[in-house]
Structure 1
Amino acid sequence: MNETPSDSLATFDTDEAKWAAVLARDPAADDAFVYAVRTTGIYCRPTCPSRRPRRENAEFHADAAAAERAGYRPCQRCRPQEPSLTQRHARSVARACRLIEESQDLPSLDELAQVAGLSRFHFHRVFKSVTGLTPRAYAVACRAERARRTLTQRETITEAIYEAGFNSSGRFYAGADRMLGMTPGRYREGGKGMEIHFALGECSLGNILVATSEKGICAISLGSDPEQLLQEFQERFANANLLPGGKRFDAWVAKVVAFVEAPGVGCHCRWIFVVPPFSSASGRR
């Protein structure tokens, strides 16, 4: 692919783009830079509700530390030296995700909200806006990820199913195609007899590999080294026929990348697959 959805995301790499974001009070700019006003000696977030300065009196800095090194002091209204609302929400959701990942059963909404430090209704909205999933959907995806891992580590499928947190084998088998892109037996056998199409792309978190069988998505992986991603994928499905995806497949990869870049928008696909746990993603979501 020559282009990913990240290419179309708002960027603030010029002073003109930054000034436009300040005028628009663009929330997407809040963690990208701060602006300082020469006539007042104060620096602010792009979303600060204060009156906009004249353009000739504004200058831009990478962050609060850079603005303070230049001699500016923080605004008392928007407090740009403190974590932004987006950052605070991301940290709260990360704590909740960590609890979900470590629990065999889904913690209650009240328990998750308490860990996040938010009310239960506010927490549910924030969680979905940050991750693109409800807490329950995230828990289901984490359980599915445990199943994929245990299927290759345990002696029997039944043992793997129950260790992953499924209460019945029937429930697991009913959703196996969606979770694995194939039957559990085929997954354990490295995709034996399956034809799997795959493609590599890029996103803000690094390189991404997406693979599908005729049953559905069977792999989504993120990493900094595309060769390592490809090697791990080939080892996981050593007995399958692995084929590069075509143009139609590239569109699927673009949807996955778009979801990674802006999870709050959601992914309107017929499958749900979570990439490495949210709480482990460096500074993301």
Structure 2
Amino acid sequence: MTQQFSSLPTPTVAPASFSLPGTFPDPDTCWHAVQRRDRSYNGRFWFSVKTTGVYCLPSCAARPPLRRNVSFFASPEAAEAAGFRPCKRCKPRDWQVEAGLSKPVAKACALFQADTGDTPPSLAEVARKVGLSATALSKRFIAELGVSPRDWLVAKKRERFRKALRDGEKVSEAVYGAGYGSPSRVYESSDKVLGMTPATYAKGGAGAHIDYTTVDSDYGRVLVAATQKGVAAVFLGDSDRKLEQDLRHDFPAADITRNDAALEDRVTAVLSRLYGRKPSALDASDVPLDIIGTAFQWKVWKALTDIPAGETRTYGEIATTIGEPKAARAVGRACATNQAAGVIPCHRAVGANGGLTGYRWGVARKERLLAEERRRKST
């Protein structure tokens, strides 16, 4: 199993649970989100309460209002134009719609990224500019992004370096353009930064090869993809064509080939997890993983495999389990970026009120997976 860094080019995954569609949800969807205090709807709408005269985020922890007293708005400005004032508890104006982050964290990220020098602005300096203490800003980063500001900066520097190489820049130019003080710093950690040497990565990930196959299952079509090291992706869906497109989108620089025969054992092992015939585990010998994740993501994924089949845990409960009780939202992001459906059972993670929140492969499929697990457990 390869943890945190992989031989593969970094996949470009859109976190399903926290995507922010441009369309305004219908009233029933909005009301259900308010009842569940669903954070994934923050920034998609705001709701007001006639009896209190305030408007809030969907995740507001205040006492639940009655439906007849609630109205929904597409922006804070619209709510204020209707005569409502912002809630002091959830601070509904303190939300960056485009980034899916609170305004202080979004502004801090922008300030950090604006300086690409080898020595970024200090945490205290940035915290002061966003109106928080350094400690408070660090806590917000961990809660919303799952990493500390320092780890976030390291990841962004690596991201700039990888992008420069993919765009065709010379290694020397990419090194300094990304903010590294010298080439030696990059070559000393190239396995961690790229999974290969900078020169090899610059050639589009030469040597990174993925075999894949698709099979039928009780939950629709299943795509299993693997490198020589292990399983790189398990996707669920209804169309082979769409699953194959998703694989190529997530791994644009890899050499991808269909190879049904080579993956028979891997498919058997994956289906055993989907059907609950074998327990989930990150270190299972028949399903070695070759996926990319931060240390925080791996902690979340490990916690998911510890949840018994047929049972669920809220994002907050998982956050507490891994020692980060205030990182429920970051746990949700880690679940949304899971590349190995079933093997890493992110379908067992639910919203604060037990609601089946967003699932990359469809909420209906998530509901069926859990129902089947419970049925098998009871027989």
The two structures have a TM-score, normalised by structure 1, of: 0.57
Q: Quick check: 1:74 aligned with 2:84?
A: yes
Aligned partner letter, 1:141? A
Give yes or no for contact 2:30–2:72 (8 Å, CA) kept in 1: no
Q: Which range moves more in the overlay, 11-20 or 172-181?
A: 11-20
> Partner residue of 2:70?
59
Give yes or no for contact 1:181–1:215 (8 Å, CA) kept in 2: no
Instruction: Tell me which of 94, 106, 115 is aligned to 2:106.
Output: 94
Aligned partner letter, 1:178? K
Instruction: Tell me which of 145, 148, 154 is aligned to 2:169.
Output: 154
Give yes or no for contact 1:196–1:212 (8 Å, CA) kept in 2: yes
Instruction: Tell me which of 3, 20, 23 is aligned to 2:35.
Output: 20
> Partner residue of 1:163?
177
Cα distance change of structure 1 residues 96 and 36 upon mapping to structure 2, 3 Å threshold: closer
Aligned partner letter, 1:73? G
> Partner residue of 1:42?
53
Q: Distance in 2 between matches of 1:193 and 1:30?
A: 42
**Number of paired residues?**
230
> Partner residue of 1:126?
140
Q: Distance in 1 between matches of 2:107 and 2:30?
A: 36
Secondary structure at the counterpart of residue 126 of structure 1: helix
Instruction: Tell me which of 83, 86, 93 is aligned to 1:83.
Output: 93
**Cα offset, 1:215, TM superposition:** 8.1
Instruction: Tell me which of 46, 53, 56 is aligned to 1:33.
Output: 46
**Cα offset, 1:161, TM superposition:** 2.1
Give yes or no for contact 2:123–2:134 (8 Å, CA) kept in 1: yes
Report which structure shows greater RCO (CA 8 Å, sep ≥6): 2
**Cα offset, 1:28, TM superposition:** 6.4
Q: Distance in 1 between matches of 2:159 and 2:256?
A: 22
Structure 1 vs Structure 2: percent identity of aligned residues? 28
Q: Distance in 2 between matches of 1:80 and 1:263?
A: 15
Structure 1 segments unaligned to the other structure (5+ residues)? 200-210, 219-225, 270-285
**Cα offset, 1:111, TM superposition:** 1.5
Q: Distance in 2 between matches of 1:123 and 1:192?
A: 40
Residues 123-169 of structure 1: CA deviation (Å, up to 9, x unaligned) = 111122222221111111121122113335334x3443233222343
Give yes or no for contact 1:15–1:60 (8 Å, CA) kept in 2: no
Match runs of 1:1-285 below 5 Å: 6=16, 13-14=28-29, 17=32, 20-21=35-36, 31=43, 32-37=45-50, 40=51, 42-45=53-56, 47=60, 49=62, 55=66, 57-63=68-74, 73-75=83-85, 78=88, 83-84=93-94, 90-101=102-113, 102-105=115-118, 106-152=120-166, 153-155=168-170, 157-196=171-210, 230=248, 234=252, 237=253, 241-243=255-257, 264-265=330-331, 267=334
Give yes or no for contact 2:47–2:55 (8 Å, CA) kept in 1: yes
> Partner residue of 1:204?
none
Residues 155-203 of structure 1: CA deviation (Å, up to 9, x unaligned) = 4x3443233222343331232222223221211222223314699xxxx
Aligned partner letter, 2:72? H
Cα distance change of structure 1 residues 197 and 111 upon mapping to structure 2, 3 Å threshold: farther
